[in-house]
Structure 1
């Protein structure tokens, strides 16, 4: 499987729609269109496309490791590297891929020994509302994941 940005962009946006909500994926499509229409540099367009195509369209679909297992690795990386910005999306991805809320909590508990209590406590502030909503409703919302839109 090679990395063809155009080919993997649609696959990535499709998965993002399933995990983060169609509104989120549509917002990114609109952002890409706006970048192209505004005459943005190829670099600006490529940065946006690359993140979607490389991770969501390519990496998450590779054989050898399940999406479930990849999402667990991503949670550990987010906590270790203080990746609070992506952590909520990655928790939603883990739930989408079949990781249970109790497993997410156990992963966090394990990480206390390896990355430290402060990082896990900080991550738990992001994770807890998502898990509680999922346990209460069987769903998670994407409100906190919605891309910022320019209202000017």
Structure 2
């Protein structure tokens, strides 16, 4: 193992523990000022978001956490680092809360973090976009069952 890989894993571990603790200040501190978030799909939160202020303001605070009942929010209830190298860490995470619209938002995320000089400089995030539409945007698109017949675990 390289020292850089180990340092990147440590950043990712702090990412997940900050989310588990609900410490969004510590979470934001792990990101570079010019970080870019790339979010899957064609939902209102999808696309490329650039800059820490934008990523943690209109995106995280308003479009995600702001649409959840505060006392129910716990991201990173479960997480696992799947692989890492000198540039990136890939992890899976499960968490969320109750939407203010009454729909449960318990999401599984895949995050691909690009890390440079101890900071996350780019994040690619994949998730269930139908759940985003239902629980965060009150848009009941056709969604499969909440409990899938053949679930996977990580």
Q: Fold-level match, TM-score > 0.5?
A: no
Structure in which a larger fraction of residues adopt helix: 1
Structure in which a larger fraction of residues adopt strand: 2
Which of 1 and 2 has higher RCO (CA within 8 Å, sep 6+)?
1
